[in-house]
Structure 1
């Protein structure tokens, strides 16, 4: 009898513990749903180490806010890499860095940003606010003390040995400096090639040229910009050009600036000075020519890791300087690591009327170079 009473008592205790009205059951379920702990995320209300972006769907990113142009934010996270996000998809931005913003009316302000869905505020200036709809651009502020530059370096090499030897290399570098209203662009390309002479065994240079470009853009509005000025230095002894300097101004228009698709065009007047290596006796060894410059830059993401690039410019000059000078760079960049890309690129240079040297030899109109290189983004 005592055993039966003990068994009944045990059953009553178990029933009480796991009955729907008991606290023990309520700890495991609420409205028939399993209890789930809160997310283990500790994000300070005021950023202390990183910048933060909260998307409207709830995703939270921590890292570095690079810039915002044409309603697209560029954001760098150690975990997910460099991403582009549409402003319309962002619920909040909070920055640890001091940033510079430009409004539609031309006003420029600096501070730690707190952007909500309808307002722009500053964490370190709580009394200052603007309507978010007026925001034109965001860039690092000179007051932050951080570098405003970023860029990349690319190197390609080809070496052959055996019955004959050949060595080629290409080096490219570019850098960009962004503020809320300006953009500075620097670019360099160097090409060198030499082969072994089978008769003498010595190396003979077959190609060497260098091109340096610099430009300063001022954004008048969301779409229009003025290039004040542009500058190019070019040298190529195999085209009979000791050096060539072109400088001028241009007006540009941004056709597209999406997260995965950028395309702008520009045109303007310039002046070009060319110094020739060798000319016929009695001929001028230099030429100064007015220039009409046309150009475009097109970038599009084919996949998350592959980007297609197309850069083209045409300079309409005097017949003594070549009549029309074309320069084209096109190819793809494949991301292999967060900061490293493989470049597969073609560079095409074409001169309608190449300048003869002192022996009357006319250089080829077109040079085509294919490059396989490794680039590092910084």
Structure 2
């Protein structure tokens, strides 16, 4: 076998040649030149021969880096001669492969166009980037919506967020950084910046379902688009941040995702803001899928505008479009 590649033997006896990207949540992502990017259940793999050193995290919180092999249900560490059962392995990631192999990209674009008695154009865009190693996870994301009706702008909001997690073991992780920038003039928010930290826990961690929660302190700074005379155009507040993400494979091709965030602040900053994104994604190919996505944003106590009007507490957006997974 060519040692420049990674080799996987399935329980069926079939061999695959390519690049072992990672093993996480009992699922392996493997890049084959002929078959493309494959997602394989960890339990369906009999043997792995790695072409280079790997980082392996075990359920006792230790991390091994170096040459390893998987054979007959055991992980063998070449340098130390140690052997552990495969069910003790939490995650595997390359040490010396290209940096891009540690990244995942998911992008979505939805559009709607109507003409006639009413001319309306709507766009929704979302991008998610994630970088994984044996012990860390970095997430970067963007979601935005724009709508125009009869040449008049009716929606224009943008949210950029980032978080970094360090895993102590299979389920517990600490989040030393959690940041978000949000802008929505129709909600009277010229800018809202939230910085926080916290601790998280995986409630469910299986090959078909992943559910985790995270909670911690934060700080929020808000600049309003307009305010009534005598009101402060800026607000600052200590905050409590709660997030949860849920991901389930309904079938081999259909996936359900949910991401919810709640931020508790003082009344001047809105008291309680909530952000929910939930979607159904159907895989067309290994790269492309179609999706239907629901977004709900709610501000419990929105700031009145200069003309005295108060923005609606709820904004709801339903999108249908095309997604890309790389």
> TM-score normalized by structure 2?
0.92
Equivalent residue, structure 1, for 2:84: 131
Q: Distance in 1 between matches of 2:175 and 2:288?
A: 30
Aligned residue in 2 for 1:10: none
Give distance in 2, aligned partners of 1:105 and 1:86. 19
The correspondence of residues 42-191 of structure 1 with structure 2, limited to 5 A, is 44=1, 47-49=3-5, 51-77=6-32, 78-79=34-35, 81-87=37-43, 89-117=44-72, 119-121=74-76, 128-132=81-85, 134-141=88-95, 143-147=96-100, 148-191=102-145
The 8 Å contact of residues 29 and 37 in structure 2, kept in 1 or not, is answered as: no
Is 1:339 paired with 2:296?
Answer: no
In 1, the alpha carbon distance for the partners of 2:325 and 2:52 equals: 21
Q: Deviations over 1:173-224 (max 9, x none)?
A: 010000110000011001111111xxxxxx1111100000100000011110
Partner SS, residue 8 of structure 2? strand
- Aligned residue runs from structure 1 range 9-28, under 5 A: none
Structure 1 residue 237 and structure 2 residue 185: aligned?
Answer: yes
Show CA shifts across 1:293-338 (max 9, x none): 1111111111111101111111111111111111111120111122
| Cα offset, 1:126, TM superposition | 5.7
**Number of the residue aligned with 1:359:** 307
- Greater relative contact order (Cα 8 A, min sep 6): structure 1 or 2? 2
Per-residue deviation, 1:81: 4.6
How far apart are the structure 2 equivalents of 1:336 and 1:136? 30
CA distance in 2, matches of 1:239, 1:146: 40
Match of 1:313 in 2: 261
Which structure has greater strand proportion?
2
Higher helix proportion (structure 1 or 2): 1
Measure the CA separation in 1 of the matches of 2:81 and 2:232: 64
1:249-283: CA deviation from partner (whole Å, max 9, x where unpaired): 11111112222211111111111110111111111
How far is 1:72 from its partner?
Answer: 3.6
Following superposition of structure 1 onto structure 2, how do residues 215-254 of structure 1 map, counting pairs within 5 Å? Answer: 215-254=163-202
Q: CA deviation at 1:127?
A: 5.8
Asked if 2 retains the 8 angstrom alpha-carbon contact of 1:273 and 1:289, the reply is yes
What is residue 31 of structure 1 aligned with on the other side? none
* 1:188-227 equivalences in 2 (<5 Å): 188-196=142-150, 203-227=151-175
Deviations 1:136-183 (A, max 9, x none): 321122x33332212122111111222331111111101000011000
| Matches of 1:73 and 1:164, distance apart in 2 | 49
Give the C-alpha shift of residue 112 in structure 1: 4.4
Q: CA 1:210–1:323 in 2, change beyond 3 Å: closer, same or farther?
A: same
Structure of larger gyration radius? 1
Match of 1:39 in 2: none
Q: Which residue of 1 aligns with 2:223?
A: 275
Q: What residue ranges of structure 2 are gaps of 5+ in the alignment?
A: none
What is the CA-CA distance between 1:118 and the residue it aligns to?
A: 5.1
**C-alpha separation in 1, matches of 2:207 and 2:18:** 18
1:90 touches 1:117 (CA, 8 Å); kept in 2? no
Q: Where in structure 1 do 4 or more consecutive aligned residues deviate above 6 Å?
A: none
